[in-house]
């Protein structure tokens, strides 16, 4: 049940973020649906490929596809209904990052993989769809921008891999922490160290 909840939250959140980016880039309706679906399912598909899960598992998620399509349709048809309240898609991206990072780590733990695999699965599931979205939208991938992004997904994978969050309430607390850290990173411009070469 908990795993299903993370799937639904992540799918809705990333579908919305994909639609918003597509509309910002003035994509037509086909581009909107394509970018939304890629954002919602790209991270999980990439994770499955790298940890040995059959690719056709993706097509067993019929209910999630329907949820994503309905969500994208609502956002595309009546965007002004909620744009007045949430003016930036970063909020939805933070929800998707957190939900899918937790879901990916739980997946790896259930398959009895190592802690490093749980961290990697959290990273791929949480940020893979957004990475593909940004590349297709010709944007600098969010995962590589100044504000801390992927690190929070990896932190979630570490916590779950170490067995520090098992019960549903612990996972919900972890979810809230990752979302909060991501939003705080944006608000206060928390950055990882970087170097620039000068000629």
Mind spelling out the 3-state secondary structure of 61-100? CHHHHHHHHHHHHHHHHCCHHHHCCCCCCHHHHHHHHHHH
∠104-32-41 over CA atoms, to 5°?
15
Instruction: Give strand pairing partners of 62.
Output: none
All structural domains of the chain with their residue ranges: 2-188
Query: What pLDDT does 50 receive?
Result: 77
Backbone phi and psi for residue 54, each to the nearest 5 degrees, phi listed first: -55, 140
Q: Does the pLDDT of residue 119 top 80, yes or no?
A: yes
Instruction: Specify the pTM.
Output: 0.84
Q: Which long-range contacts (CB under 8 A, 24 or more apart) does 88-92 make?
A: 89/16, 89/17, 89/20, 89/21, 90/182, 90/183, 90/186, 91/183, 92/13, 92/14, 92/16, 92/17, 92/20
Q: What was the pLDDT predicted at 133?
A: 92
| pLDDT, the chain, mean | 87
For residue 93, what pLDDT is reported? 83
Determine the pLDDT at residue 24.
87
Q: Is the pLDDT confidence value at 114 over 80?
A: yes
Residue 127: both structure tokens together: 């940020």
Secondary structure of residue 191 in the 3-state scheme: strand
| Low-confidence winner among 47-56, 71-80, 81-90, 91-100 (lowest mean pLDDT) | 81-90
């Amino acid at each position: 049940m908990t795993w299903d909840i993370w799937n639904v939250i992540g799918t809705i959140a990333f579908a919305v973020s994909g639609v918003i980016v597509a509309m910002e880039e003035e994509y037509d309706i086909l581009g909107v649906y394509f970018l939304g679906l890629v954002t919602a399912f790209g991270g999980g598909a990439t994770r499955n490929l790298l940890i040995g899960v059959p690719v056709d598992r993706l097509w067993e998620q019929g209910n999630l596809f329907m949820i994503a399509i309905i969500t994208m349709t609502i956002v595309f048809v009546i965007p002004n209904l909620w744009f007045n309240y949430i003016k930036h898609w970063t909020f939805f991206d933070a929800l998707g990052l957190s939900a899918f990072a937790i879901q990916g780590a739980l997946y790896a733990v259930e398959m009895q993989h190592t802690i490093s695999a749980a961290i990697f699965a959290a990273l791929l599931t949480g940020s893979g769809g957004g990475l593909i979205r940004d590349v297709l939208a010709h944007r600098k991938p969010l995962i590589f921008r100044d504000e801390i992004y992927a690190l929070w997904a990896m932190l979630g994978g570490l916590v779950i891999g170490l067995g520090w969050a098992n019960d549903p309430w612990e996972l919900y607390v972890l979810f809230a922490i990752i979302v909060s850290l991501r939003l705080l990173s944006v608000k206060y411009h928390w950055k990882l160290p970087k170097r620039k070469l000068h000629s």
